[in-house]
Amino acid sequence: MNAIAARTPHRLPFRGDVLSRVAFLLLVCFLFVAVLGPVLPLGDPHRINVGPRLGAPSADFIAGTDSLGRSVLPRLAQGLRTTLLLAGLAVLVTVVISVGLGMMAAYYRGVVGELITRVADVLFAFPAVLLAILVVTVSGPGVVGVVVSIALISSPLMIRVVRAASMTVVGRDFVTAARVGGAGSLRILSVHVLPNIAGVAIVQGTYALSVGILLESALSFLGLGVQAPEASLGSLVHEGALYLSVAPWLAIIPGILLALVITSINLIGDGLRDKLDVRAVETRR
């Protein structure tokens, strides 16, 4: 076995999938800028009058300056960090809650399972943006409302997907054997069901992340998300839209950055889906 393993070449991420690999490298670059933005020599995102107001991109200000004379480049890094952090946190909460509820809905097929499924269906029926606006209106503009909105909107679909994947697992022989052997529900779900639906949850989590980024940007664009002077990609697009006729780059640059981030995550999700589906087929065999 060791000799065979030694001869097996190391598989790089998304081998043979050029688009997913490029998207992965691009997302790594975005994460690098988002995490290390405060220590990179980009400038202070809040310092005003560092350059001409509504200045075009130049050698001194690569992304131009805004209406207060602030350099847009450090604000883009701050906006990228804020958007990824809020969406990532919300999706993490979504995954933890939705995976547990989805497995429970598949394992307990009586009242508990039906109740979870019906609540998810009701939430899924609401238009996403309207539900997000309603939640933020109740909780107030800010980080908490954004995270709760993304979690509520992303959870129903993930619960349904995890439930469908779990139902194919809970009926298999090894789960029945574990139940007959006296294993508790928690042990069966965590030891036998969860490892077999982890791939589905990961893939769905990547798509939920792209939806979360889009929702966070939409709420910030409407002024219901991150509040000034902090920046997110959505708030930067909103600020740039006010000067679209005289300084279109203020809206175009963060808009392109937002599109690249979402496209990269979706392509990575497609690559993970193809990779994990193959493994699932091999496992069933």
- Domain contains 89: yes
Does 13 or 199 have the greater pLDDT score?
Answer: 199
Look at residue 172 and tell me whether its pLDDT is greater than 90.
Answer: no
Q: What is the pLDDT of residue 277?
A: 61
Angle of helix 143-170 relative to helix 72-107, nearest 10 degrees, comes to 40
Per-residue pLDDT tens over the stretch 63-89: 989 989 999 999 999 999 999 999 999
pLDDT of residue 275: 77
Residue 188 — very low, low, confident or very high, per pLDDT cuts 50/70/90?
confident
Question: What's residue 284's pLDDT?
Answer: 41
**Is 20 a member of any domain?**
no
What share of the chain has pLDDT > 90, as a percent?
A: 39
The DSSP 8-state label assigned to residue 83 in this structure reads H
- Confidence (pLDDT) at 15: 66
pLDDT tens per residue across span 55-65: 899 888 899 89
In a domain, 32, yes or no: no
Name which of 285, 203, 213, 269 is nearest 14 in CA terms: 269
Residue 250 lies in a domain: yes
pLDDT value at 195 more than 60: yes
Q: Is the pLDDT of residue 29 over 90?
A: yes
Write out pLDDT tens, residues 261-283.
Answer: 999 999 998 888 877 764 443 34
User: Using 50, 70 and 90 to split pLDDT, how confident is the model at 179?
Assistant: confident
Confidence at residue 282, expressed as pLDDT on a 0 to 100 scale: 39
The C-alpha atoms of residue 272 and residue 41 are separated, in whole angstroms, by 34
Q: Is the peptide bond before 248 cis (omega within 30 degrees of 0)?
A: no
- Report pTM: 0.85
247's CB contacts (< 8 A; 6+ apart) are: 54, 56, 64, 240
Q: Indicate whether 166 belongs to any domain.
A: yes
pLDDT value for 78 = 93
SS3 87: helix
Q: Is the pLDDT of residue 19 over 50?
A: yes
CATH code of residue 210? 1.10.3720.10
Contact 189, 129 (CB under 8 A): no
Q: In Å, what is the CA distance from 25 to each residue of 18, 130, 153, 268, 269?
A: 11, 34, 28, 10, 14
132 domain residue, yes or no: yes
111-125 vs 143-170: helix crossing angle, rounded to 10: 130
**Interatomic CA distance for residues 204 and 183, integer angstroms:** 29
Per-residue pLDDT, averaged over 205-232, amounts to 89
Residue 152 lies in domain: 71-284
What's the domain count of the chain?
A: 1
